[in-house]
């Protein structure tokens, strides 16, 4: 039980002329046998997509893919005919299911920074789908916003749905603010901006942390933004 922090400068890394990525888990040519997954959480990529760059049309199957935009915006297109622009602080989800092709392009005149999160679904062969939603931007004082959920009833309160018993929370905190988020399973916390204390341990922008305690106690040391992913162990 406890917290294990993974500093930003120790993450996997890839860079070309349009993408600068940091990998929390093994991905593409970055291979770390000790960092393959965290329960059903398979991928967290911290991507900077240069203006005019992007991921061209490519396929996926049987994966829940969530994009949290930190800065700028990303424009999505897919083989189902969906098209949409997701801006900073907002989220899109894609259930790859039986198969879908999509592209993610930065059509802005500035770099886009985003988290790309992949979660294994609870079952294979679901109908592919895509959705997006805007979320409140004002700082939180009690609980983080529920952004993504595997419970259909949470959709009535604004959460995006995924095919897994998992939950993704997020929010901005003013310096000195503190929240305690209970975990249904185990958590992975990302510091998008600022510095925080997580269960008493210091974290900085870009860091990640595995949480096997029953709750995430977050205190902002400066103005901060966090994303918390609550996933089953298997």
0.85 exceeded by the pTM?
yes
The residue among 57, 125, 69 whose CA lies nearest residue 97 is: 125
Expressed as residue numbers, the domain containing 158 is 3-231
Whether the Cβ atoms of residue 185 and residue 122 lie closer than 8 Å to each other: no
Q: Specify the CATH number for the domain of residue 91.
A: 2.60.120.10
Return the percentage of the chain with pLDDT > 90, whole number.
98
Quote the pLDDT of residue 142: 87
Burial (CB < 10 A; 0-12, 13-18, 19+), residue 191, is buried
Q: Sign of the C-alpha dihedral, residues 158, 159, 160, 164? A: negative
Kindly tell me if the per-residue pLDDT of 234 is higher than 90.
no
Q: What is the pLDDT of residues 188-210, one digit of tens each?
A: 999 999 999 999 999 999 999 99
Query: Looking at the 3D structure of the chain, how many domains does it have?
Result: 1
Per-residue pLDDT of 81-135, as tens digits, reads 999 999 999 999 999 999 999 999 999 999 999 999 999 999 999 999 999 999 9
* Residue from 38, 190, 189 nearest 113 by CA: 190
pLDDT at 189: 98
**Tell me, what's the pLDDT at 190?**
98
User: What DSSP state is assigned to residue 139?
Assistant: P
Place of tokens 């991921």: 55
The pLDDT of residue 90 is 97
CA 124/CA 103 separation, integer angstroms: 22
Mean pLDDT of 173-182: 97
Cα separation, 163 vs 213, in Å, equals 24
pLDDT at 1 over 80: no
Under DSSP, the state recorded for 38 is: B
Tell me the mean pLDDT in the region 197-224.
98
Name beta bridge partners: 3.
211
């Amino acid at each position: 039980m406890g917290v294990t922090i993974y500093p930003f400068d120790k993450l996997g890394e890839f860079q070309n002329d349009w993408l600068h990525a940091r990998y929390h888990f093994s991905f593409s040519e970055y291979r770390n046998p000790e960092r393959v997954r965290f329960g059903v959480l398979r991928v967290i990529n911290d991507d900077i997509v240069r203006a005019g760059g992007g991921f061209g049309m490519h396929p996926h199957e049987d994966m829940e893919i969530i994009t949290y935009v930190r800065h700028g915006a990303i424009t999505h297109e897919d083989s189902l005919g969906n098209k949409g622009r997701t801006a900073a602080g907002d989220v899109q989800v894609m259930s790859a299911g039986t198969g879908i092709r999509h592209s993610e392009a930065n059509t802005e005149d500035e770099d886009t920074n985003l988290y790309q999160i992949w979660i294994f679904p609870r079952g294979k062969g679901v109908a592919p789908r895509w959705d997006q939603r805007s979320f409140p931007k004002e700082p939180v004082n009690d609980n983080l916003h529920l952004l993504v959920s595997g419970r259909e009833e949470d959709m009535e309160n604004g959460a995006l749905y995924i095919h897994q018993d998992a939950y993704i929370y997020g929010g901005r905190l003013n310096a000195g603010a503190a929240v305690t988020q209970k975990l249904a399973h185990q958590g992975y916390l990302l510091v998008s901006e600022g510095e925080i204390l997580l269960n008493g341990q210091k974290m900085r922008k870009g860091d990640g942390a595995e949480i096997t305690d029953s709750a995430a106690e977050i205190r902002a040391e400066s103005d901060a933004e966090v994303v918390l992913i609550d996933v089953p162990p298997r």
